[in-house]
Amino acid sequence: MRPETSARIGAAYDVALLVYAVALGAGLGLASALWMVEGDLPFGRQEAGPWHVWPQIGSRAADPYSRAILARTANIPLGAGEGLAFHATRDDAGRLLESDCVYILDGPIPPARYWTLTIYDEQGNLAGDGLESRSITSSARVVRSENGAAQIVISRAPAPGNWIVPPTSQRFEIVLRLYDTQAAGALTRFTASALPSILREGCFS
């Protein structure tokens, strides 16, 4: 084989390797980006017992992946200074929330000018047959205990006091939104005792 031919073959091989490496890198980068934006919000999550919150999600400090996820899902988070949204998909024992079970939410709700507690199904849709059965707000006639705590029951069967109906889907999520709350500035000091506990009382099946 002539030296010129060997050199051309070597150069072509190097170019092919370069093209392959670039294509592989681009493919891996695209795949990792898609994986990041298809899942849950990847950064800035803080936890307090069964509850979790992303305090920076509505601010300019939100990371690019979180912004991409919000754009894809069309979710509009509470803006910085507006409030906080706490999410729970498990009870205090770490078990997934199931519509066949009865749950008691008991304990303090951080001070806020206004708060809502709402249930969503697995697809993120509002659960329940009517507005009153799928959420409770601080402006409603909330039944409170002697110490001021609002005990809330999540059950398919009617319950006295503050009662919410779970969705027909097997799994669901609880979202506690606090509007105009000083808690936003003291998030790092939150503990499980600062939020309602989520206790499973039993299941129908």
Tell which wins on pLDDT, 72 or 6. Answer: 6
Range scoring the smallest mean pLDDT among 12-16, 61-65, 113-117, 121-125: 61-65
Percent of the chain with pLDDT over 70: 57
Residue positions counted in the chain: 205
pTM for the full model? Answer: 0.68
Would you call 88 helix, strand, or coil by DSSP?
strand
Separation in Å, CA 10 to CA 3, 14, 23, 24, 189: 10, 6, 20, 21, 63
Where are the domains positioned within the chain? 1-38, 46-203
State the Cα–Cα distance between residues 4 and 12, nearest whole angstrom: 12
Q: Fold for 46-203, please state it.
A: Jelly Rolls (2.60.120)
Question: Which pLDDT belongs to residue 33?
Answer: 40
What is the average per-residue pLDDT within 59-66? 50
In this model, does residue 74 exceed pLDDT 80? no
Phi, psi (rounded to 5 degrees) for 3:
-60, -35
